[in-house]
Structure 1
Amino acid sequence: MRVDELDGRGFVQYGTLDTQHGGKRVPVAVSAFKNAKISGLCQSVVVPVPLFGDVSLKLTAGYGKEKVEAKNLFIDLDQLDADAVFKGINIGVAAGDTTKGPKNDTNKKDPGSFAQEADRALLSDVKQTAWATSAGTFKLSGLSMKVSKGKNECF
C-alpha cells in the first residue's frame, strides 16, 4: 500500500500473529485508527496464477479534492516506511491497557504485549506491506480499480 498522507485520530499499534490461508501464522504490527483521512491511496495485490502468470489488482482513491475516509481502520502490516508525527503519544503501554484506539480490536490483542497509542498520528509518504486491511466504514472517493496481467504494484 502507498499513501501520500494519512491523518489518523485515535491511534493504537501492537504486535500479534495473523493466521493466513493454510494455517500459516505470520507476525504483524496492527495499526488501528478510530478515524482516518487519506490522500493518494494505492493498494495492490499480485497473485501468481498457474499456467497463466501473475495477475495484479490495483486500487486507487483519494487523488482529487475528496479524501478517502475510514472509521475503525485496522492495518495488519509487516513493513512500514513513512514520515510520522504523533501527538499525545504513549509508548510502551500494555496492549490490554490502551484506550485511545478503536474499541473492537480486543479479539486480536495479547493483553500483555507491547503497544503504543496516540491521540493523533500524521503519516506522509507511506509505503507499507500489509497482510490484511479492514474498516467499519471505508469511503473511497474517486475509486479506480484495475486488473491486469503481470506485476503492477504501487511501489
Structure 2
Amino acid sequence: MPKASEETPEVSQDAPEQHEGPRGTRWRRFALVAVPGFAAAAVLGGMTTQGLLAASFAVSGDSFKLSADSLVGNGFTQYGDVATSVDGAGRPVGLSAINTAEIDNLCLSSLWDLPIGEATLVITAGEATPVEGTNLVIDIEQLQGNAEFGEIEIGRDASTLDRAEGGQGPAGGFGLQSESITISEMELTTWAVTSGSLRLSGLGLAVKPGNHECF
C-alpha cells in the first residue's frame, strides 16, 4: 500500500485520520462500518434482491472472522442492509460489493459449539499466490485495518452507486463508493460472503479442538 508523504500521529479507531492527494483518500485504522451485524458463510453465491450478487440465503446464527495481510480491489460500493437468519432475526450490516479483488494470506475461521466442546473451522489460502475473487459481496459487521481509497464518494444516494456491478441499494439510503480500495492488516467480522468466482491458491482446511480463530 502506498505510504503517505507526511508522517502523521497515531489516532484512535474512533477518530480516523484522512489524507487527500492524487492517489485518493487514506483512513488509518478505519472501520468501514460501525453498525453491528454479519453472519456465517457461503463462499459462492447467487443473485438476490435489488439485482445484487449477494447472500440470497438465510444466514447462520454465528458470525465468522476473516483476516488477510492485504486486500486490493477495484470497484467498491457499500450501503446499509439487513442479514436475516432462519428464525427471522435481522442483523444490520454494511453490504459491501467489490468487482475484483486479490487477497494475500487469507485466513477464515468459524468457532463451533459442539457437544464435545468448542472447535474451530480454519481455512487458509493465498500465502504464496493471492486469492482471486470476482463480484465479491460481504455483509460487514466490523472491519479493522489500514485502508486507502481511490476517488471515494461518501454520502451518495445508495440507489445511484455505480462503481461495483449491481451494487445499488434502496433510494434515499446512505451509500459510499470508490474506484479502488486497498486494505492492509485486515481483520473482518462478517455474517456472509458470496462471490461470482473465487480461486483459493494453496488452500488449507482444518477443524481444530478449542478456539483457534484468525484473530
The answer to whether the superposition gives a TM-score over 0.5 is: yes
1:11 shift after superposition: 0.4
Instruction: Note if 1:100 corresponds to 2:172.
Output: no
Aligned mate of 1:55, from 119, 132, 139: 119
SS at match of 1:58: strand
| CA displacement, residues 79-136 of structure 1 (integer Å, 9 cap, x when unaligned) | 1101000001111111110000122x45xx3232111011100111000100001100
> Which residue number in structure 1 is paired with residue 187 of structure 2?
127
| CA displacement, residues 30-76 of structure 1 (integer Å, 9 cap, x when unaligned) | 12100001101101001112x31112110011001x11000000111
Structure 2 residues without counterparts, runs of 5 or longer: 1-65
- 8 Å CA contact 1:81, 1:128 repeated in 2: yes
Between structures 1 and 2, the one with greater strand share = 1
Considering Cα pairs closer than 8 Å and 6+ residues apart, tell me whether 1 or 2 has the greater RCO: 1
* Percentage of identical aligned residues: 36
Instruction: Note if 1:24 corresponds to 2:89.
Output: yes
SS at match of 2:105: strand
**TM-score normalised by structure 2 residue count:** 0.67
1:1-155 pair list within 5 angstroms:
1-49=66-114, 51-64=115-128, 66-103=129-166, 105-106=167-168, 109-155=169-215
Alignment root-mean-square deviation, CA: 1.1
Report the number of matched residues: 150
Output the CA distance in 2 between the equivalents of 1:112 and 1:52.
48
**TM-score normalised by structure 1 residue count:** 0.93
- 8 Å CA contact 1:44, 1:59 repeated in 2: yes
SS at match of 1:96: helix
Output the CA distance in 1 between the equivalents of 2:154 and 2:206.
39
Q: Which runs of 4+ in 1 moved over 3 A?
A: none
Structure 1 residues without counterparts, runs of 5 or longer: none
